[in-house]
């Protein structure tokens, strides 16, 4: 039982942030499509703008013909303006880790599951969601760490249980 639960929590790949995903990385992992989380993956939580470098990265991905879509658990009100600004299709209220939003996004991409990865910063939503759906998962570190107590609490548990180490990340 323990090992089954453990596997659900485990990302396929763990990287610094989306900017680490380049042509070589995609080829190595056989990826042609990405299901992207929004908050703390493309943008700081609640921020109206993408993080520095993200727009250029999206342009690079498009040049490589990587199909992309956003699945966020946040509201339409939050997700719509930024996703439109970035030119990305999206699903808001994605209900991750439940598999519905991710499954729908995977069908939209029209690629075999083995060529897709869910990219996100949270084990409890992005990683478990991808694993339940049988899709590779790429865990990123959030661009900035959040101060809200609920996030702090969640990070604390993640750190304790999964030995994630945020101590080396710069606090802003």
The radius of gyration of the chain from alpha carbons, rounded to an integer in Å, stands at 15
CB closer to Mg ion out of 55 and 146: 146
Q: What angle do CA 35, 41, 46 make, to 5 degrees?
A: 115
- The reply to whether 37 sits near Mg ion by the rule CB under 5 A is yes
Please tell me whether residue 17 binds Mg ion under the rule CB under 5 A: no
Looking at beta carbons only, is 40 or 115 nearer to Mg ion?
40
By CB under 5 A, how many residues form the interface with Mg ion? 4
Considering only the stretches 38-46, 102-110, 147-155, 156-164, report the one whose residues sit in contact with Mg ion under the rule CB under 5 A. 38-46
Three-state DSSP state, 105: helix
**Does residue 51 interact with Mg ion by CB under 5 A?**
no
Contact status: 158 vs Mg ion (CB under 5 A) = no
**Binding residues for Mg ion restricted to 85-124, rule: CB under 5 A:** 121
* Nearest Cα to Cα of residue 26 among 5, 53, 57: 57
User: Distance between CA atoms of 39 and 31, rounded to whole angstroms?
Assistant: 22
CB 78 within 8 A of CB 57: no
* 39 forms part of the interface with Mg ion (CB under 5 A): yes
Interface with Mg ion (CB under 5 A): 37, 39-40, 121
């Amino acid at each position: 039982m323990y090992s089954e639960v453990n596997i659900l929590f485990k990302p396929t790949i763990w990287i610094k942030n989306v900017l680490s995903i380049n042509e070589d990385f995609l080829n190595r992992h056989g990826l042609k499509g990405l299901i992207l989380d929004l908050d703390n993956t493309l943008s700081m939580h609640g921020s109206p703008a993408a993080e520095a470098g993200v727009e250029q990265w999206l342009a690079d991905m498009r040049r490589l013909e990587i199909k992309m879509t956003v699945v966020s658990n946040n509201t339409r009100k939050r997700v719509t303006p930024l996703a439109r600004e970035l030119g990305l299709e999206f699903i808001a209220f994605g209900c991750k880790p439940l598999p519905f939003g991710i499954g729908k996004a995977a069908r939209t991409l029209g690629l075999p599951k083995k060529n897709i990865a869910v990219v996100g910063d949270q084990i409890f939503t992005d990683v478990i969601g991808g694993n339940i759906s049988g899709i590779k998962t790429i865990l990123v570190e959030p661009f900035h760490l959040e101060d809200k107590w609920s996030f702090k609490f969640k990070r604390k548990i993640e750190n304790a249980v999964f030995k994630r180490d945020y101590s080396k990340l710069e606090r802003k």
